[in-house]
Structure 1
Amino acid sequence: MKHKRLGRHGVLVSNICLGTMNFGWHTSEEDSFKIMDRALELGINFFDTADVYGWTKQHGYTEEIIGRWLAQGGGRRDAVVLATKVYNPVERKANLPEVNSDGRSLSAYKIMKHCEGSLKRLQTDRIDLYQMHHIDNDCPWDEAWQSFDTLIKQGKVVYVGSSNFAGWNIATACQEASKRGLLGLVSEQSVYNLDNRMLELEVIPACRHYGLGLIPWSPLAGGILAGALQKQIDGRRAEKDVLKQLESKRVQLEKYETLCKEIGHPPSEVALAWLLHNPVVTAPIVGPRTVEQLESAVRATSIQLEEDTLKQLDAIFPGPGGEAPTAYSW
């Protein structure tokens, strides 16, 4: 496990980020506690969640689980760089319907209110990385940045990040922050993996230019890069949408899993190691359902892929052809 700067910024985070999206609905609270404890033992200090996680249980339920884990003490809170998000609906059973909470936006009202909700559920006095879960094209940056600046001055938020932003959204957000003398975005969290390399066109160049650390979610492409074909041969059941993907990508995945076997590493670990070879990537987000899955992700940090292997991976999963505009023009 290595600890590196989040982009060009001073804070040090582990090069694997613990994603908690499964906590509370796929993973029990007891097992979630075990995963978080083991993460600290392995040197992972970067935890990511969102106010909407909890899904079928209740929006915010995952934050509550993390809050109860932190409340055990033992230095847990000081050992963690804690990230959560704002934008999505957060419907709570105890609350009356409320259009600002039950809808999607980055209004000042929502940012301020939802920050307080997250702080209460997480049982902490600060959010280390507060991320916009999606772009709100209808809300002016004057309003959003004023709200984040207020929270920073109050000591409730340390850094601000984005998630699911386009390259031009990142550029706009950073320029608007700069005009106000603010630090601006420190990170971008987006889907990025061998099978989905669209970020290489404009988002990764924007992150590099503005000094953002890239935090890829779905690094295993929903499981299809985790040895899905072999698991199918072994008789393990897969969801319908995964089976559909397997059939459409069977030729690619056969080549991929064969290559992984040749170099002697599990497909899931190779997929993570490939991401870690990109200097813009700070930490892939892994969402383990078990301690064993977490330990497998950590093993990926010690894998050094040879240049020939990287070329073979490019041949199997070619991506968009480089960065815009040279990827599609002279």
Structure 2
Amino acid sequence: MEYTQLGRTGLKVSRLVLGTMNFGPQTDEADSHAIMDAALDAGINFFDTANVYGWGENKGRTEAIIGNWFAKGGERRDKVVLATKVYGNMATDAQPGQPAWPNHDRLSALNIRRAVDASLKRLQTDHIDLYQFHHIDRNTPFEEIWQAIDTLVQQGKILYAGSSNFPGYKIAQANETAARRGTLGLVSEQCLYNLAERRAEMEVVPAAQDYGLGVIPWSPLHGGLLGGIIKKEAEGGRRASGRAADTLKDPAARAQVQAYEDLVGKHGLEPGEVALAWLLTRPGVTGPIVGPRTAAQLESALRAVELELGDELLAGLDEVFPGPGPSPEAFAW
């Protein structure tokens, strides 16, 4: 496994991030624990989750599964750089059809304090290494957010703060506010970024680079679209669903994905592994999040770290999936 610094920090993290969103909803606890053990054995030390994972009535379940894994001992917690998130509503007493009870979501100082303590309890740990804002909160000023975060850092409950799904201007606002307070600010941005969705290159990635944030792409296979989905369907395998199925309904988009699979096949490579390896070549990227449902999917992701993409293939990928270009040239003269 290769390691890199997380943004401008001294923290060393693996170039693949283990995403845990499937733990609970699609992967049972025993298999989830086996996948985490396999990830640790392979050198992956960066684990990502969120307080809402498990979803619906089971929100918080994923953090609890990770906490039970930590409780097994064997230096599991000490070896992991643990990242979780805050924003989604975690109230459990709302009546059906009624609004959720207030102050159990978003980024108020009250909810941040409440959410951290609840996550620590589920995760069975005394600190979170990277505490991420899952979305922007248009109603809470960054002065209040950083006041809450600075207190948690002083208490030793969190070490670093990161963002997720932030536009470039919010990254700038957040870190300029932190700078005025004399604190570290955001050290990472977790964003939607892959070969088929490159809008982050316009402003999010440049803002992250300018402010020293590590970029952590989520959905690196774009919901399975870049994992060889057309070939799998033709061979009677798993059919496209969700975002991938919707995209393939468009003839032009389907032709683009087919061109991608043909290009990768010409080089004797697997589409999913190429999609991950491509992200590892991108400026500013710390490492993509992989969310395996099975041990076999984890093994495939691990091969991407060793994959070297030649200039001819990289040029071909840009032809199939051209990026928007930098801002403002992407939309101005």
Q: What residue in structure 2 maps to residue 244 of structure 1?
A: 246
SS in 2 for 1:314: helix
The structure 1 segments of at least 4 consecutive aligned residues displaced by more than 4 Å after TM superposition are: none
CA distance in 1, matches of 2:124, 2:309: 41
SS in 2 for 1:223: coil
Structure 1 position 253 matched with structure 2 position 251: no
Preserved CA contact (<8 Å) 2:4 2:12: yes
- What's the Cα RMSD here? 1.6
Preserved CA contact (<8 Å) 2:222 2:244: no
Scaled by the length of structure 1, the TM-score of the pair is 0.96
CA distance in 2, matches of 1:42, 1:16: 10
Structure 1 position 73 matched with structure 2 position 73: yes
CA distance in 2, matches of 1:225, 1:170: 28
Q: What residue in structure 2 maps to residue 318 of structure 1?
A: 322
Give 1:90 shift.
1.3
Q: What residue in structure 2 maps to residue 278 of structure 1?
A: 282
Preserved CA contact (<8 Å) 1:126 1:156: yes
Structure 1 position 125 matched with structure 2 position 95: no
Q: What residue in structure 2 maps to residue 35 of structure 1?
A: 35
Give 1:56 shift.
4.4
Preserved CA contact (<8 Å) 2:94 2:101: no
Q: What residue in structure 2 maps to residue 152 of structure 1?
A: 153
Preserved CA contact (<8 Å) 1:59 1:92: no
Preserved CA contact (<8 Å) 2:161 2:185: yes
Q: Which blocks of at least 5 consecutive residues in structure 2 are unaligned?
A: none
Q: What residue in structure 1 maps to residue 52 of structure 2?
A: 52
Query: How do 1:89-238 and structure 2 match up within 5 A?
Result: 89-92=89-92, 98-101=101-104, 104-236=105-237, 237-238=239-240
CA distance in 1, matches of 2:56, 2:117: 22
- How much identity, in percent, do the aligned residues show? 56
Q: What residue in structure 2 maps to residue 64 of structure 1?
A: 64
Change (3 A) 1:39 1:57: farther
Q: What residue in structure 2 maps to residue 294 of structure 1?
A: 298
Change (3 A) 1:318 1:37: same
Preserved CA contact (<8 Å) 1:60 1:121: yes
- The number of equivalent residue pairs is 327
Scaled by the length of structure 2, the TM-score of the pair is 0.95
CA distance in 1, matches of 2:301, 2:321: 21
SS in 2 for 1:190: strand
Give 1:93 shift.
6.8
Give 1:99 shift.
1.6
- C-alpha distance after superposition, 1:62-111 (max 9, x if no partner): 0000000000001000000000000111133799x63211xx42000000
Preserved CA contact (<8 Å) 1:215 1:284: yes
Preserved CA contact (<8 Å) 2:81 2:130: yes
Q: Which amino acid aligns with 1:30?
A: A
Change (3 A) 1:241 1:167: closer
Change (3 A) 1:140 1:56: closer
Range with greater deviation from structure 2 (246-255 or 276-285): 246-255
